[in-house]
Amino acid sequence: MQKLVIATGNQGKLHELQTLLQDLPYELITQKQLGISDADETGLTFVENALIKARHAAAISGLPALADDSGLCVDAMNGGPGIYSARYAGPGAKDGTNNDKLLTDLLPFRGEQPLVARFVCVLVYLRHANDPLPIICQGIWQGEILPALRGSNGFGYDPLFWLPEHGCSSAELEPALKNRISHRGQAMAQLKAALDTVNC
């Protein structure tokens, strides 16, 4: 069975990726298991940062690597916090402090119209560190930003991400449904189709 390094130190992402990948013929290894530190995310886009993380893990491990770069983009904030979503409240930020900062920063924009936002996920699969043709997949999940937290499932900004078509927040969805319809679920569906083509 082919080994695959999951290039993330985010436990929420790791859990979702492991669940989404469980039906594929890979032995999943976390970068923590290999003692690989997080890469310096110096890119200016989700694609650049996902490539940086995948290449970092592949170079150190000598194995194929899968990286996820994702975040929340709010229209009223010109797409912010975007690639800085995980560290929006500063270095070492936690979900709670990021959510609090987002709510505070959005107060001037609150009105009759909903605050439109989207979760974005870019997955990059590298066969090796110098792979000239990485598989890059992107998922976008449309929603709105709530004025207060709702729900206890998920992680990150899930309690603030309202889904009008479901009448609940992302954090109120059953995990199986979230994994099917979310930005990460969409990107993973594309990746699985691409891997089937490559491996056939």
Verify whether residue 131 is a known catalytic residue: no
CATH of domain 2-199: 3.90.950.10
pLDDT 10s digits, 6-64: 998 888 888 888 888 888 888 999 999 999 999 999 999 999 999 999 999 999 999 99
Catalytic residue among 23, 69, 95, 131: 69
pLDDT recorded at residue 199:
55
Residue 63: how many CB atoms within 10 A of its CB? 19
For 91-135, write each residue's pLDDT tens digit.
999 999 999 999 999 999 999 999 999 999 999 999 999 999 999
* Rounded Cα–Cα distance for residues 130 and 104 (Å): 43
Is 98 in contact with 88 (CB distance < 8 Å)?
A: yes
Q: pLDDT-based confidence at 200, cuts 50/70/90?
A: very low
Residue 8's nearest CA partner among 48, 54, 47, 46 is 54
Instruction: Tell me what pLDDT residue 189 has.
Output: 95
